[in-house]
Amino acid sequence: MEVKEQDRKFLSALKRVYQSVSNTPETLSPLEARALCTTLVRDAFATTNVQIKGSENLPCQKNVIFIYNHLDNHPYYTEDEGFQITLDSHFISSVILDKYYKDSGVRVVRHSLPEEDNHRSYYQRLQYIRVYAKKFLPAGLDPKEIQLVNKGFYPQAIKHLAEGSGLVFSPEGNSYKTGDSPGIFRYGIFKLACCMDPQPLIVPLVMANFDKLASEDTFKCEIKPPFRMSDLGITNKNDPALPGVVAKINQEYKEWVNVLLKAEKGFESEILALEERTKNKDTLEDLVVFYGSSTIRLWNSLEKDFPHINSLNLGFGGAFISSLSENFERLFTFKAPKVIVLYLGGNDLSLGWTAKKIVEKISTLIEKIHQKYPSTTLVNLSIKPSLERAEQMDKIIQINTLMQASSKINPFLKQVDFFDALMDGETVNRHFLLQDGLHLNADGYKILINHLKPYL
């Protein structure tokens, strides 16, 4: 197998994780060892292509059960004599939980076999919850000992959740290739959720491509909306309906993995859904169209927020200015709307462009829209401040200022600047954002609505 430089770098970074954690001095506490592990794992994944979708679904509280479909590692990523750091679970702890909650959570790890010195030395330092796995049982181990240890998982997990830590758990008890994932879910974690009062939220994390080489694919994780077992009608761990409900979750997971695995780099599935939304619209007369990226896509209450207008939401998540331009003619097939409300440019900050270049791109698209609909008023929403883009604040302010100036010389263009209303002095007001520190919550949308209303 020809090894590419990106894979060498990634393996080297993973070996650094293994060696650093395994060789930490005994004076370092398990929490400190986990913090070291988290930092090094995050550094390792920084050398790869990663895609995280659905961060807006993360709940505010962190004492949540995060379930995931457990994937094999590529054989190349072997850190020491057959030992591999499980990429998907380390990714969840370090790149998701620690980033959004400042707490990497607690994982569940199988007990090491007697000959697995590397496995033992690594996980002993991290002090996660240990259980016996069916395919990794020491010879001659008393079945009663296995049962006793594995039953101890419940009180330990409940304790961690009660203390405010997230629990990272795979319901399968084994790992698979992405195409074969997930395996059959066991009931244990779902029963545990039913034992607690109140029931904890369960957040499904859909994983794909962690069994591939970093140079050949993108590691993908999609965060699905959280649920409680009571939402599915299960309030008791002994409920006879539990197996059927778990089987349904299991089947839904298979579909999620399939969709994520096949997800294209473009936005075809979302564009098709938006075309269907337009077709199902009762009337296309006197439209006010909202067009842009996630701030528009996630705005699910337009009809309630603006009952006096005929609104149509054509937002799609992760859209760049170029994406909005490329799909404009395809989506805007109707006669001139009264108003088009735009939100764009925020995602383009990740491309390393200057404020001036982003404004030029925005202006080009605005001119394109104006050419098609010369009688339509265009309302551009300022780029909002966010914790996720804290390092880009100066650039965001520059873009908003330049767009405000542009609106002064173009009578068809209005600029709505709600940036300052989301700030607390010189810092972003966390109160107006979802847990991911990027998207607006209900209070944030109230601010936006109040600023936009005079223009509609």
Whether 251 and 282 share a structural domain: no
Whether 224 and 286 share a structural domain: no
| 265 pLDDT more than 70 | no
Whether 251 and 330 share a structural domain: no
Residue type, 343: Y
Q: Is the dihedral of CA 161, 166, 168, 169 positive or negative?
A: positive
pLDDT digit string, tens, across residues 12-26: 999 999 999 999 998
Cα distances (angstroms) measured from residue 199 to each of 63, 100, 237, 354, 434? 11, 22, 11, 47, 22
Q: Are 331 and 275 in contact (CB under 8 A)?
A: yes
pLDDT score for 264:
62
- Mean pLDDT rounded to a whole number for the chain: 95
pLDDT digit string, tens, across residues 157-207: 999 999 999 999 999 989 999 999 999 999 999 999 999 999 999 999 999
pLDDT score for 140:
83
Give me the CATH number covering residue 367. 3.40.50.1110
Give me the CATH number covering residue 78. 3.40.1130
Whether 254 and 319 share a structural domain: no
Q: Which of 222, 247, 262 is the last residue of a domain?
A: 262
Buried/exposed code over 379-402 (b: 16+ C-beta within 10 A; e: otherwise): bbbbbbbbebbeebbebbbbbbbb
User: What 3-state class would DSSP assign to 107?
Assistant: strand
Q: Are 299 and 313 in contact (CB under 8 A)?
A: yes
Whether 283 and 373 share a structural domain: yes
Kindly state the average pLDDT of the residues 308-319. 95
Whether 106 and 28 share a structural domain: yes
- Strand 423-424 relative to strand 427-428: parallel, antiparallel, unpaired? antiparallel
Whether 203 and 324 share a structural domain: no
pLDDT score for 137:
86
Whether 305 and 193 share a structural domain: no
The parent domain of residue 173 ranges over 5-262
Kindly state the average pLDDT of the residues 85-110. 96
Whether 290 and 223 share a structural domain: no
Q: Is the dihedral of CA 126, 127, 133, 139 positive or negative?
A: positive
List the one residue out of 269, 362, 286 whose CA is nearest residue 324: 362
Whether 279 and 257 share a structural domain: no
Percent of the chain with pLDDT over 90: 90
